[in-house]
Structure 1
Amino acid sequence: SVLYVKVNRVLLMLLILMSLVVLYSKMFKALEGGSESEVETDIPVVICASEERLGAAMTTINSVYSNTKASVFFYIVTLRDAIRLIRRQYIEKTKLKEIRYKILEFNPMVLKGKVKPDSSRPDLLHPLNFVRFYLPLLAISNHKRVVYLDDDIIVQGDIQELYNIKMEPGHAAAFASDCDLPSTHEMVRSVGMLTTYMGFLDYRKQEVRDLGINPSDCSFNPGVFVADVEEWKKQKITKQLEKWMSKNFQENLYSSALAGGVATPPMLIVFHDKFTTIDPKWHVRHLGWSPDARYAESFLQEANLLHWNGHFKPWDYPCVHLDLWEKWFIPDPSGKFSLVRPEI
């Protein structure tokens, strides 16, 4: 009977292992819709497109596509409910029909036991916010690097410049450090912008203190980054990120942070002092932090990438510098996504 119990345990372990393999293999399901197959010389750009914010993601894609001469291949990651809308409405019926792309369906089941709804901003808990943790599991085997962009962004420069950044040896990703925020961000700092680890991690918890990260160290925003796919795999970055998600699920290490949500802190922990810094002009952010803090137009014109992170998005109102974002906006042919603007 002891042998019988042992055999049953082995079989159970194998079953669990197989279930995990199946789950991860189905995490990103590639769907038809790409105009061509991707090739090694393409610049792969990953953008998540939720059903409620499709117009935002398509604006980002349009800005990237319109401002480069390079061959870009878009990986549009979404949930099942938005697939038909993306392909048959937004892409096939607009100028975006010229882009080369593949739609990937993300399986949110992979987040079970790692994320719980305890944020004051439920939008930060959207399953697609965690796609950035799983980049090497996308169907991007032809690419050594990938550019990841949030959907509240417009790109004014040539994405090829960002993609070709010289990565430091042993670094799996490149971000814009909050140490490098331009002086024009000082006014945003005064309304509570978070620029250090203290704003994202709960230093009252022993496990956080044991990390040995100085709370005044500069943070970074993971809404824009370049990933070295091979280095990411080699360092098992996804496993490390999942570890911190699970720890937070059990011990609330950072979910009470002011504005970090639960997707930013694991990135801050795993990549602390282990990332290449990108030119600050390639991530001018916090445009969505306050409806009152405006930046100099000359400064914004010179920026290569603008990011409306924060509550005040350029498709809503109030917001700042909406004219720069709206320049790349493509009206939704289905009419589901519409801009909120003040009545004149």
Structure 2
Amino acid sequence: MSDRGRILKALLVVSAWLVASAVACGEIEAAGASKKRFKEAPQFYNSPDCPPAPPDGPSALCSPSAVHVAMTLDSPYLRGSMAAILSILQHSSCPQNVAFHFVTSPSNASRIRSAVAASFPYLRFETLPFDPSRVSRLISASIRPALDSPLNYARSYLPSLLPSCLSKVVYLDSDLVLVDDITDLASTPLPRPLVLAAPEYCNANLTAYFTQAFWSDRRLSSAFDGRRPCYFNTGVMVIDLDRWRKGRHTEEIERWMEVQKRVRIYELGSLPPFLLVFGGRIAGVDHRWNQHGLGGDNYRGLCRDLHPGPVSLLHWSGKGKPWVRLDKGRPCPLDALWAPYDLLQPPFNLD
């Protein structure tokens, strides 16, 4: 067995014990998100060779010395978001140089801000309300109702939501954890004129992401002419915000969503418009930053194993989410790698 295999096996054994204990004791409750309470996370400090941390206050959210991370936070995924934040800080060599920008619905902004501040009182972050009406009229039903949430489309509006002083951001989904330094991901090269970098999978069947109505209409399918588009994962992206703003790419995405309202050209939420606008025009992110599909497919969410290769980020993309499977007492083996980052407060004192 390789060193990687032995390490993962050890992690699985230890974490599986923790998961089994939590489920057996009834630690994880299936109550609504409004009743969930999260523990305070430990504070993490910069290593001696880090650049000076940005000063406290609003200026930190514009600091060019910070690694800027954007995430969408909503009630059903808040538990996953808290785990993701903890994993980023725990594995960063310069955690005090990470600034977070959380996009949420206006109705949840205050509660989510309070929850994050209670668990991470030292965190440099802001909450950015996203008005659902900006996109709700453009959303078409997809194969998974969870993908129809307006917040699922908020990533398309990041350049206008984030402070204009920001020129670069790392966007991350809420169903993942990092086990490596986010600075390395943020340093992914973005040569001109490319707008974003993401994990790209050219062995995937791109035609499956669009309907026959799309491929049979040359007025539509010609959008890919002159390009070699590949599927890429929008849950892990490094974005040049200035180039996006200049290229008015949000408007491009919206135009494809308007086409979708007239002629059903895809089935899967917010991903296909990204493929139409950026497919074949992105920088690749090393696959170690997206051990994806751990949530199974979009229909059943069955358990899956890790892909071959190194691991820097574990991503439960797909229908199955680790916290849901833990709540039901039927976790997949790899959910044990997520469990140590779970900050959900037990409903009783285990002592």
Residues 308 and 319 of structure 1, relative CA distance in 2, 3 Å threshold: farther
Q: Which residue, 236, 242, 247 being the options, matches 1:230?
A: 242
Counterpart CA distance in 2 for 1:52 and 1:218 is: 30
Instruction: Please say if residues 80 and 105 of structure 1, whose CA atoms lie closer than 8 Å, have aligned partners that are also in contact.
Output: yes
> Match for residue 130 of structure 1?
153
1:323 aligned onto 2:348: no
Correspondences of 1:97-116 after superposition (within 5 Å): 97-116=121-140
1:143 aligned onto 2:166: yes
Instruction: Please say if residues 285 and 308 of structure 1, whose CA atoms lie closer than 8 Å, have aligned partners that are also in contact.
Output: yes
Q: Which residue, 261, 264, 270 being the options, matches 1:252?
A: 264
1:234 deviates by 1.7
Counterpart CA distance in 1 for 2:317 and 2:104 is: 20
1:84 aligned onto 2:110: yes
> Match for residue 273 of structure 2?
266
Q: What SS class does the counterpart of residue 254 from structure 1 fall into?
A: coil
Structure 1: give runs of 5+ residues left out of the alignment.
Answer: 1-34, 181-194, 256-260, 336-344
Q: What SS class does the counterpart of residue 97 from structure 1 fall into?
A: coil
Q: Which residue, 301, 304, 326 being the options, matches 1:293?
A: 304
Correspondences of 1:194-213 after superposition (within 5 Å): 195-205=204-214, 206=217, 207-212=219-224
Correspondences of 1:181-200 after superposition (within 5 Å): 195-200=204-209
CA deviation map 1:310-344 (0-9, x unaligned): 111111224431111111111158x6xxxxxxxxx
> Match for residue 47 of structure 2?
none
Residues 178 and 91 of structure 1, relative CA distance in 2, 3 Å threshold: same
Q: What SS class does the counterpart of residue 227 from structure 1 fall into?
A: strand
Instruction: Please say if residues 291 and 306 of structure 2, whose CA atoms lie closer than 8 Å, have aligned partners that are also in contact.
Output: no
Code of the aligned partner of 2:280: D
Q: What SS class does the counterpart of residue 98 from structure 1 fall into?
A: coil
Counterpart CA distance in 1 for 2:192 and 2:162 is: 25
Q: What SS class does the counterpart of residue 316 from structure 1 fall into?
A: helix
Q: What SS class does the counterpart of residue 322 from structure 2 fall into?
A: coil
Code of the aligned partner of 1:262: G
CA deviation map 1:213-249 (0-9, x unaligned): 5999531111110000111112111111111111111
Identity of aligned residues (%): 27
Instruction: Please say if residues 199 and 287 of structure 2, whose CA atoms lie closer than 8 Å, have aligned partners that are also in contact.
Output: yes
Structure 2: give runs of 5+ residues left out of the alignment.
Answer: 1-55
1:280 aligned onto 2:301: no
> Match for residue 163 of structure 1?
186
Q: TM-score, normalised by structure 2?
A: 0.73
Counterpart CA distance in 2 for 1:231 and 1:215 is: 19
Instruction: Please say if residues 65 and 99 of structure 1, whose CA atoms lie closer than 8 Å, have aligned partners that are also in contact.
Output: no
1:282 deviates by 0.9
Instruction: Please say if residues 312 and 319 of structure 1, whose CA atoms lie closer than 8 Å, have aligned partners that are also in contact.
Output: no
Instruction: Please say if residues 171 and 275 of structure 1, whose CA atoms lie closer than 8 Å, have aligned partners that are also in contact.
Output: yes
Counterpart CA distance in 1 for 2:135 and 2:122 is: 34
**Aligned residues: CA RMSD:** 2.2
Q: What SS class does the counterpart of residue 151 from structure 1 fall into?
A: coil
Counterpart CA distance in 2 for 1:159 and 1:78 is: 22
Residues 83 and 243 of structure 1, relative CA distance in 2, 3 Å threshold: same
Code of the aligned partner of 1:119: S
Code of the aligned partner of 1:324: L
Counterpart CA distance in 2 for 1:78 and 1:266 is: 21
> Match for residue 11 of structure 1?
none
Residues 69 and 212 of structure 1, relative CA distance in 2, 3 Å threshold: closer
Counterpart CA distance in 2 for 1:49 and 1:172 is: 24
Counterpart CA distance in 1 for 2:303 and 2:127 is: 37
Counterpart CA distance in 2 for 1:140 and 1:332 is: 33
Instruction: Please say if residues 228 and 279 of structure 2, whose CA atoms lie closer than 8 Å, have aligned partners that are also in contact.
Output: no
Counterpart CA distance in 2 for 1:214 and 1:253 is: 20
